[in-house]
C-alpha cells in the first residue's frame, strides 16, 4: 500500500516529467549530480559500474529505496543501451531523518547511487552512447522533484581499462553497501504486531557498539513501521531487535528483509538481512 502523501508526490513527479524539456528541474538547484563510469574502455562480455554522484546542499536530503513515512526513491530509466545490460540501483545504507512527526530514510551531504552494467559478448568495438533519465526528490522544509538526463559514451575495445578516480569513488561507496556475507543467522517472530528479530553467530565480528546505536531499515514499506520506536538488546549468543510491524503489512509477516545498521566505535557496519518464517 502507498501512503497518501507519497501518492501526491508521485503525481507531482508525473507533472514534472511531462514538462521535462519545457522547464528546468527545481530540485536540481539543491543537488549537484555527476554521472560516472568506473571503466573508460570495456571489452565485450565484461562488466562495470555506472554511478550517480550526488552532492547535496546542506540541510537538504534525498531518499533511500524505502523512504519511510514519506518521500520517493530515485528512479533511473535507460535508452540507447542496445548491447548493454543495466542492473538495479545498489543503495548505500541510509540515515534517519525526522520531519515533524514523520520518520524518513535517505542521504545528506553526499551519496553515490551505483548501477552495475555489462557489455554483450558479441558487441563490436567502437563508441556507444547511453542515455540515463534520473528522477529523484530532494527535501528540506519543502520537497522538490528533479528530472535530469545524462548522456555517457562508452568505448568498447579489446581490453577493459579502468578510470582510476571513478573506480576509487565506486570503491569508497561500495564499502557502504550492506554486507551479504556476514555469517550471522537471522530469524524472527511476530506476536500481535511486535516483531522480534534475532541474529546469532560470531557477534565479535561486529566490534564494540552500543545497542542504542542500532537501526533496522526494511527494504519495503509493508514490513516495519518507520516511526515506531526500536529496541536492541545484546546477550551472550544473540543480538535482538524489537520492532513494530507496518500498518501496511498484508497480514502477518512471513518475510523480513532489510539492513541492520550498527554505528560502533570503529565505524558503521551494515548487514543485509534476509529472513523468512
Q: 39-42 and 143-156 as β-strands: parallel, antiparallel, unpaired?
A: parallel
Q: Which residue has the higher pLDDT, 13 or 126?
A: 126
- Angle formed at CA 227 by CA 200 and CA 275, multiple of 5 degrees: 30
Segments in the chain forming alpha helices (H): 4-18, 164-174
Of the listed ranges 7-11, 87-91, 129-133, the one predicted with least confidence: 7-11
- pTM for the model stands at 0.90
User: Could you tell me the three cell numbers for 229?
Assistant: 520506536
Q: What is the pLDDT of residue 24?
A: 58
Domain parsing of the chain, residue ranges = 4-174, 185-276
CATH 1.10.1530.10 fits 4-174, yes or no: no
Give the residue-averaged pLDDT of 203-227: 93
Query: d(Cα 173, Cα 91) in Å, to the nearest integer?
Result: 9
pLDDT tens readout for residues 165-200: 999 999 999 999 999 999 999 999 999 999 999 999
Q: What is the pLDDT of residue 121?
A: 97
Cβ atoms of 134 and 148 within 8 Å: the answer is yes
* Average pLDDT value for the chain: 91
CATH 2.60.40 fits 185-276, yes or no: yes
4-174 and 185-276 share one fold: yes
Of the listed ranges 10-24, 71-85, 140-154, 189-203, the one predicted with least confidence: 10-24
Give the residue-averaged pLDDT of 215-233: 96
Residue owning grid cell 570503529: 266
Q: In this model, does residue 265 exceed pLDDT 90?
A: no
pLDDT band at 264 (very low <50, low <70, confident <90, very high): confident
Query: d(Cα 59, Cα 30) in Å, to the nearest integer?
Result: 10
Q: What is the pLDDT of residue 2?
A: 42
Q: DSSP 3-state assignment of 214?
A: strand
User: Could you tell me the three cell numbers for 260?
Assistant: 541492520
Q: In this model, does residue 10 exceed pLDDT 70?
A: no
Q: What is the pLDDT of residue 8?
A: 47
C-alpha torsion angle, residues 74, 79, 82, 85 (rounded to 10)? 0
Amino acid at each position: 500500500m502507498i501512503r497518501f502523501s507519497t501518492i501526491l508526490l508521485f503525481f507531482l513527479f508525473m507533472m514534472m516529467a511531462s514538462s521535462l524539456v519545457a522547464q528546468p528541474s527545481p530540485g536540481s538547484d539543491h543537488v549537484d549530480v555527476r554521472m560516472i563510469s568506473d571503466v573508460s574502455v570495456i571489452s565485450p562480455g565484461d562488466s562495470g559500474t555506472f554511478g550517480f554522484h550526488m552532492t547535496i546542499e546542506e540541510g537538504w536530503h534525498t531518499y533511500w529505496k524505502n523512504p519511510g513515512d514519506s518521500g520517493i526513491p530515485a528512479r533511473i530509466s535507460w535508452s540507447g543501451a542496445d548491447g548493454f545490460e543495466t542492473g538495479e540501483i545498489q543503495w548505500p545504507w541510509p540515515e534517519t531523518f525526522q520531519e515533524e512527526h514523520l520518520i524518513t530514510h535517505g542521504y545528506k551531504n553526499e551519496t553515490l547511487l551505483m548501477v552495475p552494467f555489462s557489455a554483450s559478448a558479441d558487441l563490436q568495438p567502437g563508441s556507444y552512447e547511453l542515455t540515463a533519465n534520473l528522477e529523484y526528490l530532494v527535501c528540506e522544509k519543502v520537497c522538490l522533484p528533479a528530472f535530469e538526463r545524462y548522456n555517457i559514451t562508452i568505448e568498447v575495445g579489446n581490453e577493459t581499462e579502468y578510470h582510476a578516480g571513478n573506480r576509487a569513488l565506486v570503491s569508497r561507496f561500495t564499502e557502504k553497501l550492506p554486507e551479504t556475507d556476514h555469517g550471522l543467522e537471522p530469524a524472527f517472530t511476530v506476536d500481535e504486531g511486535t516483531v522480534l528479530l534475532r541474529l546469532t553467530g560470531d557477534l565479535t565480528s561486529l566490534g564494540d557498539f552500543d545497542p542504542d546505536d542500532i537501526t533496522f531499515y526494511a527494504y519495503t514499506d509493508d514490513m516495519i513501521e518507520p516511526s515506531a520506536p526500536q529496541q536492541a538488546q545484546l546477550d551472550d549468543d544473540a543480538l535482538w531487535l524489537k520492532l513494530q510491524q507496518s500498518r501496511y503489512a498484508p497480514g502477518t509477516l512471513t518475510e523480513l528483509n532489510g539492513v541492520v545498521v550498527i554505528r560502533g566505535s570503529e565505524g558503521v557496519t551494515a548487514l543485509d538481512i534476509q529472513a523468512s518464517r
